[in-house]
Amino acid sequence: MAAENMDKLVALCKRRGFIYQSSDIYGGLQGVYDFGPLGVELKNNIKKSWWESMVYDNDDIEGLDSSILTNPLVLKYSGHEDTFSDPMVDCTSCNMRFRVDQVPESCKKEDLTEPRQFNLMFKTNVGPIDDGESFAYLRPETAQQIFTNFKNVVDSTSKTLPFGIAQIGKAFRNEITPRNFIFRVREFEQMELEYFVKPGKDDLAHDTWVQKRLSWWVQQGVPMESIELYDVPKEELAHYSKKTVDIMYKFPHGVEELEGIANRTDFDLGSHSKKQKDLNIKADVLENKNSNSKLAIQDDNGNWLVPFVIEPSAGVERGFLAILNEAYHIEQLDDDKTRVVLRLAPHLSPVKVAIIPLKKNNNEIVELAMDVKNDLQKLGLGRIIFENTGNIGKSYRKHDEIGTPICITIDFESLEDKSVTIRDRDSMEQSRMSIQEISSFVIKKLKS
Ligand code: ATP
């Protein structure tokens, strides 16, 4: 099941503290959102899952965290200064500006101006003087500094082909029409891998990464039934791409891109390299007059080659939205009531366990509950919450709605026999368990 519409998700996100409009008290800032107490946990868990599957599970992949402020030369040679723009039109009737492929049906063709190019990069002044000369860009993708650090990583890790560099971080795009909640925003995070291979091995590596990325999304609770693959036609390919496969997801507002997996050939390394003429670069690159580094690697025979690169690039916000949408269920209960339950995979749940004392004013119960919480928290499994509302029913409803897999209730019996009630989010079944058994039960449940 999924949410009926985006409004349901937006309401849940605000009510429970997942996502707020940024600068809300001053009327907001369009296309920018803040992640609240639960949102930051879910977002961190998504990023952690991606990082583990990329960097920890693969000995041939290294991590990187590069700067957001970017030297303009990086984005000149990457092609972004010249080509990172969308054609846009103004509607003279409603006075709004739209991307050509996103004009709403309510605007008439005769009211639209001729399309004009609009560069999507944010520029900012660097240093004390705003003279228009000393500026930097806020990076529009995290990928470029992976390429500019290629030699640093090779030299410091002695990597040989094939190998990858993974990075998670903020990206900024001055989108003309940010919309659909956190689907299209101006400030977002990307999870990007650049996987370098010998030219000729690129097609196979591309296919392999498409499959690996699909299985990762399935593990995050986004099933294949909600996914379509889009083999981007030649005329729509980005200037650097030989082939791109987009993973499209059935968002509440329609089927759109969740992640793109591109074969960027040797375009980027070739573009940022010195001595381009010596390197047999296959892509059509700008002549580089500024780089001081040869971005190439030696093969087994000692010959220099510029690797091709496969890039799976996913947006954290779009992932968040897809995962939340898939997890969202409204269930009919026996007594004519309904409950909202987020069936999140346990490794993604913002709160792992809620510990609920039956009586909030009973010191003995509260202290025992606190002990159970502290012991569980020490296991490093994520956030364990001590929920001292004194209202069990209300606490269960809240934790269903935010996707907490396990609730543990401490009652009078617990004081006698050191046992607790464990309640399962999905089945709502309750069982008794001794306090000693809790840790191993919780560890097992969270790994499932
Ligand atoms: P679109 O066609 O939807 O604008 P794109 O093809 O420009 O997306 P890429 O440049 O391939 O996107 O970026 C890789 C990923 O970054 C996308 O698959 C998406 O998940 C994410 N992303 C890109 N732009 C945005 C945005 N404005 N807001 C949120 N996520 C974004």
Domain positions in the chain? 6-71+140-324, 349-447
pLDDT at 7: 95
Residue 316: both structure tokens together: 């954290």
Q: Do domains 6-71+140-324 and 349-447 have the same CATH topology?
A: no
Indicate left, alpha or beta for 165 from its phi (over 0: left) and psi (-120 to 50: alpha).
Answer: beta
pLDDT by position in tens, the chain (length 448): 688 899 999 999 999 999 999 999 999 999 999 999 999 999 999 999 999 999 999 999 999 999 999 999 999 999 999 888 888 898 999 988 888 888 988 899 999 998 888 889 999 999 887 777 789 999 999 999 999 999 999 999 999 999 999 999 999 999 988 989 999 999 999 999 999 999 999 999 999 999 999 999 999 999 999 999 999 999 999 988 999 999 999 999 999 999 999 999 999 999 999 999 999 999 999 999 999 999 999 988 888 999 999 999 999 999 999 999 999 999 999 888 999 999 999 999 999 999 999 999 999 999 999 999 999 999 999 999 999 998 999 999 999 999 999 999 999 999 999 999 999 999 999 999 999 999 999 999 998 7
Does domain 349-447 fall into CATH 3.10.129.10?
no
Angstrom distance (rounded) from CA 175 to CA 127: 26
Residue type, 416: E
C-beta of 188 in contact with ligand 1 (< 6 A): yes
Angstrom distance (rounded) from CA 89 to CA 100: 6
315 CA distance to ligand 1 centroid (A)?
Answer: 6
Contacts of 339 (CB under 8 A, 6+ apart): 330, 331, 333, 397, 400, 401
The enclosing H or E element of 214 equals helix 202-219
C-beta of 318 in contact with ligand 1 (< 6 A): yes
Atom of ligand 1 lying closest to residue 319 CA = 20
Angstrom distance (rounded) from CA 405 to CA 407: 7
Contacts of 33 (CB under 8 A, 6+ apart): 19, 20, 21, 22, 181, 182, 185, 317
pLDDT at 131: 77
Checking DSSP bridges between strand 297-298 and strand 304-305, what pairing results, if any? antiparallel
User: Cα–chain-centroid distance for residue 360?
Assistant: 38
Asked if 281 contacts 308 with a C-beta cutoff of 8 angstroms, the reply is: no
Angstrom distance (rounded) from CA 217 to CA 323: 9
Nearest CA to ligand 1 atom 3: 257
Residue 83 backbone phi and psi in degrees, to 5: -120, -10
259 CA distance to ligand 1 centroid (A)?
Answer: 7
16 CA distance to ligand 1 centroid (A)?
Answer: 27
**Residue 370's CB: how many other CB atoms inside 10 A?**
15
The domain 6-71+140-324 is placed in CATH, from the list 3.40.190.10, 3.30.930.10, 2.40.128.260, 3.40.50.300, at 3.30.930.10
Nearest CA to ligand 1 atom 9: 260
Atom of ligand 1 lying closest to residue 186 CA = 27
Nearest CA to ligand 1 atom 23: 315
